[in-house]
């Protein structure tokens, strides 16, 4: 298995490098650290920052490559040369309304990546708990399949989350909502069938999964569950509405990328 860690137009963040190292070790993967920048000074600063953290990758089969040029073009060129299973990239929380140069570059990388891409925050260093967001339809199955394979390789616990539009007025307490979930799973509705099938996919991989249903705004519900459950990785599909390309820039997916307190894995395919 091969992973591609992209550092685009910025210095290497120690905590992000540490998280990437954990992922590579647990997945028993080789790693290419691709540092790409459009300006010579930015590239020089990135090289210096990598020299300060390269010991993080000691013991891993890794190589580092430094490229002066467009990060997206550099990524595409590398993907044409080698077969990688996942891309990892450090991201920052959105702090201003006007997109920074780094944010625009990051969005282009996310948009053009043909394989799963994990966006890593400079926050949490663990790799223990995963939240799998499913839209409740069969189209979300690749998300669950990718999550099962990642959980198997890393040993993470998994929770399935689906969000419905609004809280039914007849349900007010947490216990009632839990009972409602049990009742839901006993029905033959498309949502119930999907949740049962998703749990079976995880179970077959040896991953016992908890199922949760939240009600309300999709973004706020996912972010609330991520924070309250202290998840380390949040998994989203490319088709949360139609396609990730159509969702970027002001979309549900982009809002979660901007605000999530954890790493975010966007499923575009799966891996062996």
Domains of the chain, each with CATH number or no CATH: 2-120 (3.40.50.620), 129-267 (3.40.50.620)
What's the longest Cα–Cα distance across the chain? 62
Q: What is the pLDDT of residues 65-96, one digit of tens each?
A: 999 999 999 999 999 999 999 999 998 765 55
Q: What is the pLDDT of residues 151-201, one digit of tens each?
A: 999 999 999 998 876 545 444 444 444 446 777 777 777 778 888 888 888
Read off the DSSP letter of residue 198. H
Minimum mean pLDDT range among 17-21, 122-126, 135-139: 135-139
Q: Give me the pLDDT at residue 213, please.
A: 86
Q: How confident is the model at residue 240 (pLDDT cuts 50, 70, 90)?
A: very low
130/56 Cα distance (integer angstroms)? 23
Kindly tell me the sign of the dihedral angle through the C-alpha atoms of 189, 193, 196, 199: negative
Q: What percent of the chain has pLDDT over 90?
A: 51
CB 147 within 8 A of CB 203: no
Task: Please give the span between the terminal C-alpha atoms of the chain, in angstroms, as a whole number.
Answer: 8
170/114 Cα distance (integer angstroms)? 44
CB 216 within 8 A of CB 223: no
What's the token pair of residue 124?
A: 């949490």
């Amino acid at each position: 298995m091969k992973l591609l860690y992209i550092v685009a137009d910025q210095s290497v963040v120690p905590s992000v490098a540490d998280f990437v190292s954990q992922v590579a070790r647990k997945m028993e993967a080789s790693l290419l650290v691709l540092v790409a920048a459009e300006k010579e000074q930015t590239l020089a600063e990135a090289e210096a920052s990598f020299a300060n953290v390269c010991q993080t990758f000691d013991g891993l089969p890794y190589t580092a490559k430094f490229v002066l040029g467009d990060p997206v073009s550099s990524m595409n060129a590398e993907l044409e040369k080698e077969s990688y299973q996942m891309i990892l990239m450090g991201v920052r929380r959105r702090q201003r309304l006007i997109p920074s140069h780094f944010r625009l570059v990051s969005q282009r990388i996310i948009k053009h990546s043909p394989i799963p891409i994990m966006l890593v925050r400079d926050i949490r260093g663990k790799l223990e708990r995963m939240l799998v967001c499913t839209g409740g339809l069969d189209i979300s199955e690749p998300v669950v399949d990718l999550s099962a394979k990642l959980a198997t390789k890393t040993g993470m616990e998994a929770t399935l989350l689906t969000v419905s539009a609004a809280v039914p007025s007849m349900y007010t307490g947490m216990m009632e909502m839990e009972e409602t979930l049990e009742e839901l799973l006993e029905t033959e509705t498309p949502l119930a069938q999907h949740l049962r099938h998703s749990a079976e996919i995880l179970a077959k991989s040896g991953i016992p999964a908890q199922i949760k249903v939240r009600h309300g705004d999709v973004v706020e519900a996912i972010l609330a569950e991520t924070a309250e459950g202290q998840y380390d990785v949040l998994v989203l599909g490319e088709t949360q509405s139609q396609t990730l390309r159509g969702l970027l820039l002001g979309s549900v997916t982009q809002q979660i990328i901007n605000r999530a307190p954890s790493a975010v894995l966007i499923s575009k395919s799966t891996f062996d």
